[in-house]
Amino acid sequence: MIRLLLVSLALLGASALALAGEVQVAVAANFAVPMQQIAADFEKDTGHKAVVSAGATGKFYAQIQNGAPFEILLSADDATPAKLEQEGIAVPGSRFTYAIGKLVLWSAKPVFVDDKGKVLKEGKFAHLALANPKTAPYGAAALEVLKNLGLLDTLSPKFVQGENIAQTQQFVATGNAELGFVALSQVQKDGELTGGSAWFVPGNLYKPIRQDAVILAKGKGNAAATAFMDYLKGDKAKTVIKSFGYTL
């Protein structure tokens, strides 16, 4: 009887593995760390595996247009997924906002950045890091902030541009730039800064960074892709997203 039960359990396990799938997910660099946790939970809870590539939204857009094998895009904006949908490269009706990002001016040095952002006007630094505004929505938001503060022309000679927001954060973390505009999710966990000093940029200085997810044409019909999108809308994923400072 016990042997029969063990055989039955083994067969059930094999069936579950047979049904488990894989989905290729392109993820905006600002969401790379939360995605690691969500992907691990997703595989544990569903058996499906999310294969993750992180980078700049603009670069992913170009790659997807040129036939890259991605099946889902988690963008750093809402415009890119909408554009892909209009161009017939994404599945109509699959798009939704999974997070709203926040911009922060951050330095790896304690007390270097004040909580009002006055450090920008004082200009006592050699380098200010930001992501490439042409390909990274957080970089575009940083430019918008500087324009609204009337500091763009003054500070542009000090710019150090990262290819994406992950590289931008590295510039600051390693001291290659004294401070920089990064995503809050990169420097905060559970409501606390993970180090350094920061100015939480007021939302009225830049447009809301609505981050949309969409199933791409290559993911149509992939059960793992559908399962991942459903999982991203679930309470467990939402808890992870909120813990990194995003709003929903």
DSSP code per residue over 63-104:
HHHTT---SEEE-SSSHHHHHHHHTTSB-TT--EEEEEE-EE
Question: Would 16-100+210-243 and 101-205 be classified into the same CATH topology?
Answer: yes
Q: How confident is the model at residue 14 (pLDDT cuts 50, 70, 90)?
A: very low
Topology annotation, domain 101-205: D-Maltodextrin-Binding Protein; domain 2 (3.40.190)
- Cβ burial, residue 172 (10 Å; 0-12/13-18/19+): buried
Q: What is the DSSP letter of 182?
A: E
pLDDT at residue 10 above 50?
no
> How does residue 19 score in pLDDT terms, banded at 50, 70 and 90?
low
Looking at residue 24, its pLDDT comes to 98
| Nearest-angstrom CA–CA distance, 46 and 198 | 38
Strand, helix or coil for residue 12: helix
Q: What is the pLDDT of residue 123?
A: 94
CATH number at 16-100+210-243: 3.40.190.10
From the centroid of its chain, how far is CA 167?
A: 13
For the cut 70, the answer to whether the pLDDT of residue 2 exceeds it is no
pLDDT band at 20 (very low <50, low <70, confident <90, very high): confident
Spans of all domains in the chain: 16-100+210-243, 101-205
CA geometry: angle 169, 148, 99, nearest 5 deg: 50
pLDDT recorded at residue 7: 40
pTM, full prediction:
0.85
Cα separation, 22 vs 146, in Å, equals: 42
pLDDT-derived band of residue 13, with 50, 70 and 90 as boundaries?
very low
Q: Give the torsion through C-alpha atoms of 62, 163, 28, 239, to 10 deg.
A: 180
**Which residues are bridge partners to 188 per DSSP?**
193
- pLDDT at residue 18, as a whole number: 43
Q: Which two tokens stand for residue 232?
A: 């991203």
Q: Cα separation of 27 and 78, whole Å?
A: 13
What's the pLDDT tens digit per position in 206-223?
999 999 999 999 999 999
pLDDT in tens, 75-106: 999 999 999 999 999 999 999 999 999 999 99
The helix-helix angle for 235-243 and 32-46 (nearest 10°) equals 160
32, pLDDT greater than 80 = yes
